[in-house]
Amino acid sequence: MQNDLTTGSVFRNVVSFSLPYLLSYFLQTLYGMADLFIIGQFEGVASTTAVSIGSQVMHMLTVMLVGLAMGATVSIAQAAGDGDKKRTASAIGNTVTLFMLLSLALTALLLALRGGIVSIMSTPEEAVQGTLAYLTVCFIGIPFITAYNIIASIFRGLGDSKSPMYFIAVACVVNIALDYYFMGTLHLGPAGAALGTTLSQAVSVLVSLAVILKRRLISVRRADFRPQRAVMGKLLQIGVPVALQDGFIQVSFVIITIIAAFIQQFAHLAVVQHAFAGIRIAVCALVLQSVWKMAKKGVVDIPTGVILVVTFAAVAFFGVSPVLMVVIAAAAGILINVVRGRRA
């Protein structure tokens, strides 16, 4: 059974689909945060540092997998939207085949390179062993991380973004419980944090598979799992650019972390402050350019002008956070489009 997003209110469909997706993405980032919070209660600085570095590596990997899975979501959604069950099944089968092969290759590659990764991350000497232990367990669990993203992409492609949110919420709860057990009771340190994360992902996959079997959501044949160049090519054509885009952003954060390890804290804060100032200047410049363009053309649009002035004032004169600056700018753009759309 799938949710038909091609009928009904466009706004309601967009909101009902995007909010669970956003929350799912947020919940995935909580894995590393939960590990850090809990290990800080039972272990010392070295173990906390190990989990921090390991979590950053795993977050980068997860973000890229989510980006690649976007290609599967789009391919499945297009086939499902056309009502083509055969093409939908083929897209689902090829998604499973591609991601399973990718997960095995990634597991082998990253396990072989884990020592180099720890070195590149400028890991302090006292945290090296803990980081290696954390990454080793997490890399072994990559097939579970990949399996969740496969299942989530299939559900979203069929128009259901709520089920993946429930699955990852279950994983978060299990992760917290296992973290307290492995690190608080068994005192396994960074390895315990990684073990809790990996097992919670496995539980999430098992729950999602149980839901699929119970609802009989997917009907695929053995032939659908055979690699098809056209299907996989389309999936990769969409997913690879998204994965690279998100990956480059995460790599930039890693580079900043590495650089910060070699400079004093006040210098690091100065870099961050200049970055925040850059965001403020960029938003203000966009607003001013829009106002100037309107004035130059002699266009008098009072609602648009009011929105731009309020946006400029909020960003330029109030100490809002960089994230809020971007949200304000995006909201202003949406409001302007809505106002102009109604007039049109």
pLDDT, tens digit, for every residue of 271-283? 444 444 445 445 4
CA-based nearest residue to 4, from 171, 174, 157, 181? 157
* Entry field: residues in the chain: 344
- Residue 149 corresponds to which amino acid? N
Cα–Cα distance, 287 to 285 (Å, whole number): 5
Please calculate the CA angle 94-153-78 and round it to the nearest 5 degrees. 70
Q: Are 53 and 261 in contact (CB under 8 A)?
A: no
- Between 327 and 57, the more confident residue is 57
What tokens appear for 139 in the block?
Answer: 């890399």
What tokens appear for 1 in the block?
Answer: 């059974």
Number of neighbouring beta carbons within 10 Å of residue 303:
14
pLDDT average, residue stretch 189-213: 92
- Between 343 and 182, the more confident residue is 182
pLDDT at residue 192, as a whole number: 94
Q: What percent of the chain has pLDDT over 90?
A: 29
pLDDT average, residue stretch 142-162: 88
pLDDT, tens digit, for every residue of 8-26? 676 777 778 888 878 887 7
pLDDT at residue 274, as a whole number: 45
pLDDT average, residue stretch 76-101: 88
How far separated are the first and last CA of the chain, in Å rounded? Answer: 38
pLDDT at residue 272, as a whole number: 47
Whole-number Cα distances in Å, 60 to 50, 168, 249: 16, 18, 9
pLDDT at residue 261, as a whole number: 60
Evaluate if residue 269 carries a pLDDT over 50: no
| CB neighbour class for 212 (10 Å; exposed up to 12, middle 13-18, buried from 19) | middle
The model carries a pTM of: 0.72
pLDDT average, residue stretch 75-98: 88
pLDDT at residue 18, as a whole number: 80
DSSP string covering 110-177: HHHHHHHHHHHTT--GGGHHHHHHHHHHHHHTHHHHHHHHHHHHHHHHTT--HHHHHHHHHHHHHHHH
pLDDT at residue 177, as a whole number: 94
Position of tokens 């409001």?
A: 335
User: Which phi and psi angles does 2 have, rounded to 5°?
Assistant: -130, 160
CA-based nearest residue to 198, from 138, 268, 121, 154? 138
Instruction: Report residue 325 CA to chain centroid gap.
Output: 21
CA atoms within 13 A on the CB side of 342: 7
Evaluate if residue 299 carries a pLDDT over 60: no
